[in-house]
């Protein structure tokens, strides 16, 4: 009977202690999340200020890419060695792939890139507001607010590339590597051989592919690459890529 009493008392005490720890858990979580939300708001405010200083009160055609330097200093890219994915004229296919398979990271998968992907914004002389209508289009002027942003973040993203990097190019084009694209004019020039070991071209082909890895434009790409960076090219059909991204058991390294 004494033993039974001890067991019953022990169980009762255990239940009581557990009950008592519930309000403590709530206090812990409430205080922790209040702290986090405060830190988050301060951080977001700083990033927003660094972002808007690039273009507010300015002619939206006179925003050079350097205007976003303070933003890049406030929100630098964390290098994702061996996982960085670049692209040119393959936006849909590459993002479809990275969304389904968690092997690679594109600029648009980063925090800053995903926040601004698809948006239009600009300032106006004499106003402290941000506008989303009446802004210059991508090709209306070279130094427009949106284009300079993508140029600047692309330079920073490429500068952070380390280990083996990948680029998906479009095999349905006669010139899959264009020196005028962001990839050709900015990213390739910012790759750093101190950090980056190789660039692996994945040329996405369709049934009637126009180019292959011996395309002349890849000679230009290799010439542009910093000497210490190795170059590889592989042709991969769009069907193979889609098959791979929809088969969860296939490891990333076996997609091509």
Asked if 107 touches ligand APR (CB under 6 A), the answer is: yes
213 is catalytic: no
As beta bridge partners, residue 202 has: 168, 234
Asked if 92 touches ligand APR (CB under 6 A), the answer is: no
> Could you tell me which stretch among 54-62, 67-75, 88-96, 201-209 binds ligand APR (CB under 6 A)?
88-96
Quick one: which of 145, 128, 149, 127 has its CA closest to 136? Answer: 145
CA 21 to chain CA mean position, Å: 41
Q: Are 58 and 51 in contact (CB under 8 A)?
A: no
81 is catalytic: yes
From the CB of residue 16, how many other CB atoms can be counted at a distance below 10 Å? 10
Asked if 149 touches ligand APR (CB under 6 A), the answer is: no
Asked if 182 touches ligand APR (CB under 6 A), the answer is: yes
Asked if 139 touches ligand APR (CB under 6 A), the answer is: yes
> Could you tell me which stretch among 24-32, 72-80, 150-158, 236-244 binds ligand APR (CB under 6 A)?
150-158
Binding residues for ligand APR, rule: CB under 6 A, are 86-89, 91, 107, 138-139, 150, 154, 157, 181-183, 187
Residue numbers annotated as active site? 81, 162
């Amino acid at each position: 009977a004494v033993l039974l009493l001890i067991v019953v008392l022990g169980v009762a005490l255990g239940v009581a202690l557990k009950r008592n720890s519930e309000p403590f858990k709530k206090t812990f979580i409430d205080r922790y999340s209040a702290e986090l939300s405060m830190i988050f708001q301060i951080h977001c405010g700083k990033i927003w200020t660094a972002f808007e200083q690039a273009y507010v009160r300015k002619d939206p055609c006179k925003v050079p890419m350097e205007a976003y330097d303070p933003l890049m200093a406030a929100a630098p890219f964390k290098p994702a060695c061996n996982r960085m994915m670049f692209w040119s004229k393959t936006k849909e296919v590459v993002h479809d792939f990275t969304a389904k398979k968690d092997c690679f990271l594109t600029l648009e998968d980063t925090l800053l890139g995903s926040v601004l992907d698809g948006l239009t914004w600009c300032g106006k002389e004499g106003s402290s507001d941000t506008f989303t209508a009446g802004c210059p289009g991508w090709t209306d002027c070279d130094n427009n607010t949106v284009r300079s942003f993508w140029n600047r973040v692309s330079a920073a993203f490429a500068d952070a590339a380390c280990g083996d990097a990948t680029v998906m190019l479009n095999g349905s084009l006669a010139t899959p590597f264009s020196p005028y694209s962001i990839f050709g004019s900015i990213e390739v020039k910012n790759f750093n051989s101190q950090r980056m070991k190789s660039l692996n071209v994945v040329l996405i082909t369709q049934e009637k592919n126009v180019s292959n890895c011996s395309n002349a434009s890849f000679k230009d790409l290799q010439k542009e690459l910093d000497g210490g960076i190795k170059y590889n090219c592989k042709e991969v059909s769009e069907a193979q890529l889609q098959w791979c991204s929809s088969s969860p058991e296939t490891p990333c390294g076996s997609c091509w």
